[in-house]
Amino acid sequence: MVADLELQQDLIVPLGHTPSQEHFLFEIFRRRLQALTSGWSVAASLQRQRELLMYKRILLRLPSSVLCGSSFQAEQPITARCEQFFHLVNSEMRNFCSHGGALTQDITAHFFRGLLNACLRSRDPSLMVDFILAKCQTKCPLILTSALVWWPSLEPVLLCRWRRHCQSPLPRELQKLQEGRQFASDFLSPEAASPAPNPDWLSAAALHFAIQQVREENIRKQLKKLDCEREELLVFLFFFSLMGLLSSHLTSNSTTDLPKAFHVCAAILECLEKRKISWLALFQLTESGKKHAAEAQMRRAALFRGILQMVKNEPSLRFLAK
């Protein structure tokens, strides 16, 4: 039915005009969300969550081109559909369809399948993948942190699909995800850790997610290795760990072990203080410049989400949202 509606929409485009690259479904989603009751009540939150979960089920049953478009071109590398999906993730899905800094596995894999399918139709697939994922750092970094979380199951699928069409290695931006995961694994092993790859925030995110999977008594010794890491990585690791600690405090059904999250944060903060590294800049929300665009967006998104969750769970603080 959706495919027929999409075809019908393209047929009514006036002669001489190119069909819109936007997908009508995202507009329908937007209108339905606007019509929902707003507010801090449990009923309003549950209604919005149910609506978004329905949208996710719809997207998962449709071709992945709905998320990314059917192809990327040099003159328009970021399609309107990509922009629509990024907006849905940043404005809605991160609040109700994610946990612990990551989207669910199904929608993450669906996006990356669509990304590869679209890029493989371009003249230079590797370059196009790199360009889109580099844009994700500033437009929707949650997609990259989600890929890190689900990389063990995502990597074989991407490798198989890429090698079926290309003889070259994986695109560089996908290799960075590989390297980030490998760094985190090496860091938590008894052997000496390899140097953290760039970018620092991605390596810090990979390490944060890896720490969550290890028992507390097994990571205390490994965290002493932080003394040898770069300043930027330590600051970002503290940021991710602090958000994890905040989430474990505010989410009643959190799977994060609260004492472990606290001790990890304390160990990282101790390292920062020992090396006299400033970390208060994490809470500066008015940073400008392209160099820090991704970091600023991650801080704003996570801090805003944490504050909103705090307001929802503490009636005495709800006046802050007015």
Q: Is the residue at 175 inside a domain?
A: no
Q: Is the residue at 284 inside a domain?
A: yes
| Regions of the chain where pLDDT drops below 70 | 1-23, 40, 69-80, 97-100, 192-193, 217-218, 250-256, 281-322
> What pLDDT is stored for residue 8 in this prediction?
43
Give pLDDT tens digits for 203-235.
999 999 998 888 776 677 777 777 777 888 888
Do 26 and 165 belong to one domain? yes
Burial 162-182 (b: 16+ CB within 10 A, else e): beeeeeeebbebbebbbbbbe
Q: How far is CA 167 from the centre of its chain?
A: 29
Q: What is the DSSP string of 276-318?
A: T---GGGG-----SGGGHHHHHHHHHHHHHHHHHHHHH-GGGG
> What pLDDT is stored for residue 179 in this prediction?
93
Give pLDDT tens digits for 170-193.
999 999 999 999 999 888 887 766
Do 130 and 32 belong to one domain? yes
Q: Is the residue at 196 inside a domain?
A: no
Q: Is the residue at 33 inside a domain?
A: yes
3-state secondary structure of 221: coil
* Domain range for 236: 208-322
Q: Is the residue at 142 inside a domain?
A: yes
Q: How many CA atoms are closer than 13 Å to the CA of 212, on its beta-carbon side?
A: 25
Q: Is the residue at 101 inside a domain?
A: yes
Do 232 and 322 belong to one domain? yes
Do 233 and 124 belong to one domain? no
> What pLDDT is stored for residue 198 in this prediction?
86
Do 48 and 133 belong to one domain? yes
| Boundary residue ending a domain (118, 141, 170) | 170
Do 156 and 231 belong to one domain? no
3-state secondary structure of 72: coil
Do 40 and 105 belong to one domain? yes
Query: In whole angstroms, what is the distance from residue 13 CA to residue 119 CA?
Result: 26
Do 131 and 267 belong to one domain? no
Do 32 and 159 belong to one domain? yes
> What pLDDT is stored for residue 320 in this prediction?
39
Query: In whole angstroms, what is the distance from residue 19 CA to residue 69 CA?
Result: 12
Do 86 and 135 belong to one domain? yes
Q: Which amino acid is at 232?
A: E
DSSP secondary structure code for residue 110 in this structure: H
User: Domain count of the chain?
Assistant: 2
Do 146 and 240 belong to one domain? no
> What pLDDT is stored for residue 136 in this prediction?
87
Q: Is the residue at 129 inside a domain?
A: yes
User: Strand pairing partners for 103?
Assistant: 98
Do 24 and 126 belong to one domain? yes
Q: Is the residue at 1 inside a domain?
A: no
Confirm if 57 and 45 have CB atoms less than 8 A apart. no
| Boundary residue ending a domain (106, 140, 170) | 170
CB atoms within 10 A of CB 276: 7
| Boundary residue ending a domain (146, 170, 194) | 170
